[in-house]
Amino acid sequence: MRKLLTLRQQEERDGFWMLLPAIGVFGVISVLPILFTLVLSFTDTPLSNPTPQNFVGLKNFLAFINSKDFWASIWRTFYFTSVSVGLELILGLGIALLIHSKPFGWQFLRASLIIPWAVPTIVNGAIWRWIYNADYGALNGLLYSLGIIEKYQAWLTKPFLAMNLVIVADVWHSVPFIALILQAALATIPREIEEASMIDGASVWQRFVHIRLQLLRPAILVALVVRTVEAFRVFDIIYVITQGGPAFGTVTISYLTYLESFTYGHLGSGSALSFLISAITLMLALIYIRILYRPEVQK
């Protein structure tokens, strides 16, 4: 005779079976690969013969610590991340507040925001690459017609400028995400709180800093972390706009990993790099979890 299970045991059993497919998928395509990446990072495995071989210990990691290219790419990644996320947050907050005050055409603006957000990243890159084109691009055309520049400029030939232009393209694509999230969060602030503060004589600025910004804090933090993690691994848009150039000026840590693994064919050091990216990202993820996962959610 089958043993009768308590309700609690039944829940445990059903839950196990319902989670099993997800656990299986994660095990095979996420957990095992990341462990394998760690193993590879201690080897000197070539792309031409991709079986883990030639154990070299920590050599790959040490090589990066002493490599100027590595530190330059780390610096570029932090620059890209902080400037683009910073700009996106400021502009996103501004646009969210703008929509929230419901000026003429605010519904049109909100719908319009969806378009850059939905345009695929690669298409976004392709558009901006063409805008920045040295001979026929729209940026040259516009600035020339307005008399701001006297002759056409080759925008993407200066490393630092190229990095900033990639940031502009990223901002165009990602501001809508932050604006839409913050706008949705603003809409949930009870009108009474703001009205009460107005009656108490709070100025517009005080209302912004002490009420809106405070109540928006969870949404801002989440938007920040999601975007930071995403920006930190930036690859697609750089691949299309500059291919890492000029003179490695836009090679971020992800791009360096790609070059190392698939262009130079060093799977070992590529793995070491990609493991470092994961480690940094997971540190950011821990922040994310702390912010998002509030224990009161559990029932």
Partner 1 sequence: MKRLTRFIKNSWLVVFMVPVLLFIYAPITWLITSSISTRAQLLAMPPRFFPENPTLKNYMDILVPGTAVSEVARTFKITLGNSLLVALVTTVICLIIASLAAYALARLRLRYKNNFIMGILSIRMIPEISLVIPLFIAAARFGWLDKPLVLIVTYLSFALPFAIWMLTTFFETIPIEMEDAALIDGSSRLNTLFKVILPLASPGIVSTALFIFLLAWDEFFFALIFTSTTASKTVPVAIAEFTGRYAVDITAMMTGGVLAALPPVILALLFQRYIVSGLSAGAVKG
Site residues for partner 1, window 77-106 (CB under 8 A)?
94-95, 98, 101-105
At residue 210, what is the residue type? H
CB of 153 to partner 1, least distance (A): 13
Alpha-carbon span 55 to 44, nearest angstrom: 6
CB of 80 to partner 1, least distance (A): 14
Contact status: 233 vs partner 1 (CB under 8 A): yes
Which range in 53-61, 74-82, 192-200, 262-270 contacts partner 1 by CB under 8 A?
262-270
Contact status: 30 vs partner 1 (CB under 8 A): yes
- Matching residue, tokens 């698939």: 262
Contact status: 229 vs partner 1 (CB under 8 A): yes
Measuring CA to CA, how many Å separate 227 from each of 16, 24, 220, 265, 294? Answer: 33, 28, 11, 30, 20
Please name the residues in contact with 114: beta carbons below 8 A apart, sequence gap of 6 or more: 176, 180
Alpha-carbon span 134 to 155, nearest angstrom: 6
Contact status: 155 vs partner 1 (CB under 8 A): no
**Between residue 104 and residue 133, which ones bind partner 1 under the rule CB under 8 A?**
104-105, 109-123, 126-131, 133
Residue 116 burial by Cβ neighbours in a 10 Å radius (0-12, 13-18, 19+)? middle
Which range in 58-66, 77-85, 136-144, 193-201 contacts partner 1 by CB under 8 A?
136-144
Contact status: 261 vs partner 1 (CB under 8 A): yes
**Farthest CA pair distance, the chain:** 91
Contact status: 22 vs partner 1 (CB under 8 A): yes
**Between residue 168 and residue 187, which ones bind partner 1 under the rule CB under 8 A?**
172, 177, 180-181, 184-185
CB of 16 to partner 1, least distance (A): 8
**Between residue 40 and residue 59, which ones bind partner 1 under the rule CB under 8 A?**
40, 50-51
Contact status: 267 vs partner 1 (CB under 8 A): yes
CB of 159 to partner 1, least distance (A): 19
Which range in 5-13, 71-79, 159-167, 201-209 contacts partner 1 by CB under 8 A?
5-13
Contact status: 292 vs partner 1 (CB under 8 A): yes
Q: How many CB atoms lie within 10 A of CB 56?
A: 17
Name the CA radius of gyration of the chain, rounded.
25
CB 236 within 8 A of CB 93: no
Contact status: 208 vs partner 1 (CB under 8 A): no
Of 144, 158, 197, 248, the one binding partner 1 (CB under 8 A) is 144
Please name the residues in contact with 277: beta carbons below 8 A apart, sequence gap of 6 or more: 232, 233, 253, 254, 257
